[in-house]
Amino acid sequence: MEEQKINFKSLKASCKDCSLVELCLPRGLNHKDLHSLDDVIKQRRLLQKNERIFNQGEKSGCIYAVRSGSVKTFTTAKNGEEQVLGFHLPGEILGLDGLDNHIHSCSGVALDTATICELPIDELNVLCVKIPGLQQQLLSLISDEITKDHTMLLLLARRNAEQKIATFLINLSGRFKARGYSAEEFDLTMSRYDIGNYLGLADETVSRLISKFKENKLIDANRKKIAILDHEKLCGIAEGDYDLN
């Protein structure tokens, strides 16, 4: 069993779906294993804007990889109000909640036209026994998820509106870059309302601060279109080393 490491680039070329890239990224798997993994991908789904991927409380038994477009996840509280939990770009995974009982504790919905791949958990678990590294890869993904949530708790609890928006933009920029898109210019697929909800702010506050960043030449913004003009200063604001007053 030759555990030949293969890098991100060759993986991307050799495999039919980018979701695998994500699963395999942290530590390499060999080609044979990758192809058994390929077989696990049940289907690729094309989604229209606002179409649900999975619903809170529903049995599903899959995790999902975004192939194109973008997706948000959110929980619905007893009183019906929503809390956006995250936005997911191409190459990112969602649905790691409800990994045990196969019941999702949040919902996923397409923010624009999107394609996603479904990975049935049970088959993945079976494969985990066969492929030594895979179990670890899955744990790695989950671990990341927990760490991301913790970062988010810090952001929500301790940062002011300016820092929240700056952090959000820097974070998106970095994720676009990691996926091969421009880090300086991108489109927000989510509404101001969604951003506000995600960051614990009123949507008016989001609007106001985007305008303020624009006035200060940190970014250029026109509705959904965003351009990062001064990455460094924006980081400064995010980190709290610097503010606009």
Q: Which residues bind DNA (CB under 7 A)?
A: 160-162, 191-193, 200-208, 210-211, 221-224
Segment lying near its own copies (by CB under 8 A), choices 14-22, 79-87, 213-221, 223-231: 79-87
Question: CA–CA separation, 244 vs 154, rounded Å?
Answer: 21
Vertex 7: Cα angle to 32 and 177 (nearest 5): 130
* Minimum distance, C-beta of residue 155 to DNA, in the bound complex (Å): 12
Cβ(51)–Cβ(109) below 8 Å: yes
Identity of the amino acid at 185: E
Contact between 77 and its own copies per CB under 8 A: yes
Angle between helices 161-178 and 203-215 (to 10 degrees): 80
Identify the residue among 24, 66, 99, 206 touching its own copies (CB under 8 A): 99
Identify the residue among 120, 133, 200, 236 touching its own copies (CB under 8 A): 200
Q: How many residues does the chain have?
A: 245
Closer to DNA by Cβ: residue 44 or 214? 214
Contact between 6 and its own copies per CB under 8 A: no
Tokens of 83: 């809390």
> Any residues with CB less than 8 A from the CB of 113 and at least 6 apart, and which?
46, 47, 48, 49, 68, 69
Strand partners, 88: 71
Identify the residue among 20, 23, 41, 85 touching its own copies (CB under 8 A): 85
Closer to DNA by Cβ: residue 46 or 202? 202
118-177 binders of its own copies (CB under 8 A): 125, 129, 135-136, 139-140, 142-147, 149-154, 156-158
* Minimum distance, C-beta of residue 111 to DNA, in the bound complex (Å): 11
Closer to DNA by Cβ: residue 51 or 203? 203
* Minimum distance, C-beta of residue 194 to DNA, in the bound complex (Å): 8
39 binds, among DNA, its own copies, none (CB under 5 to 8 A by kind): none
25 binds, among DNA, its own copies, none (CB under 5 to 8 A by kind): none
Contact between 202 and its own copies per CB under 8 A: no
Point out which residues bind its own copies (CB under 8 A). 26, 75, 77-79, 81, 83, 85, 96-101, 105-106, 125, 129, 135-136, 139-140, 142-147, 149-154, 156-158, 197-200, 239-240
